Amino acid sequence: MRIIYRLPFMLLIMFSIVFGLMILKLLGASIRFRHKYLAIGRSLWLRMMGIKVVVREGVPPREAGILMANHRSYVDVMFFRSATPQIYLSKIEVKSWPLIGWGAKALDVVFVDRSSKESRSASRSELAERVRNGLSPVVFPEGTTVERGLLEFNPGMFFTAAELGVPVVPFVMEYSDPKMAWVDDDTFVTHLLKMLTRPAWHVDLYIGEPVRNSDGTQLLHEIRDWMQRRVRN
């Protein structure tokens, strides 16, 4: 029964978000204004889906920086909290997805072909430029999702942060129900249906202090150590 009333409202909210963002971009609205619009839609979507974000530690950062988090599913982007507009990095395949891909382009998402060294390098340069303009890139250094623990980090953005002298703000997100993670052979549709039928659940959110370090390797270890102490293994 839950899916009967959730599905139409979810679609209504998603279409409103995506087409609203597309119209705002066509009208020349700033990325900051588009993110304010997104924040309203995000709040409605989370409430309708029965997902509550519980901040267990820290406060949302007020200055622009690189926001780095562990990765459980594609909905993780809904759980970040910051005072500055966020910019997202996504695999190139998302660009062609109906609805979600359209919304991503309307939010100026930076797309990367993970199989291409040139694409990865170009995406880091693009994100660096966004930071200089006062925006906060969202980065999942594992590069993919996992149900528990942490995978090995991709070091690229840590060296970019060190080179630019911008802070990295670590986040940890843990689902009250680990089965809500999007892993293995779970398709987008099957995972979405699983969320639509799931009773209310919550996400524990941990926010660290901004970290600066001119050494990219040391920065990576600092951030990973902080996350490792908070993730569920």
CB atoms within 10 A of CB 117: 9
Joined together, the tokens standing for residue 13 give: 């909210």
Q: Measuring CA to CA, how many Å separate 206 from each of 30, 41, 137, 147?
A: 29, 23, 18, 17
What would the CATH number be for the domain defined by 2-228?
3.40.1130
Direct distance between the N- and C-terminal alpha carbons of the chain, in angstroms, rounded to an integer:
34
Strands, sheet with 168-175, edge to edge from the N-terminal-most edge strand: 51-57, 201-207, 168-175, 66-69, 136-139, 86-91, 110-112
Strand stretches in the chain, DSSP E: 51-57, 66-69, 86-91, 110-112, 136-139, 168-175, 201-207
Of all residues in the chain, the percent with pLDDT exceeding 70 is 100
pLDDT tens-digit map of 102-160: 999 999 888 888 778 888 888 878 878 888 888 899 999 998 899 999 999 999 889 98
| Residue corresponding to tokens 């799931």 | 198
Q: Where are the domains of the chain?
A: 2-228
Note whether 208 and 222 are within 8 A (CB). no
Distance CA 43, CA 35 (A): 12
The amino acid at 181? A
| Sequence-distant (≥ 6) Cβ neighbours of residue 212 within 8 angstroms | 165, 166, 167, 168, 219
Global confidence as pTM: 0.88
pLDDT tens-digit map of 59-112: 999 888 999 999 999 899 899 988 888 888 888 888 888 888 899 999 988 888
| Residue corresponding to tokens 């999007």 | 182
Q: Give the CA count within 13 Å in the CB-facing half-sphere of 92.
A: 9
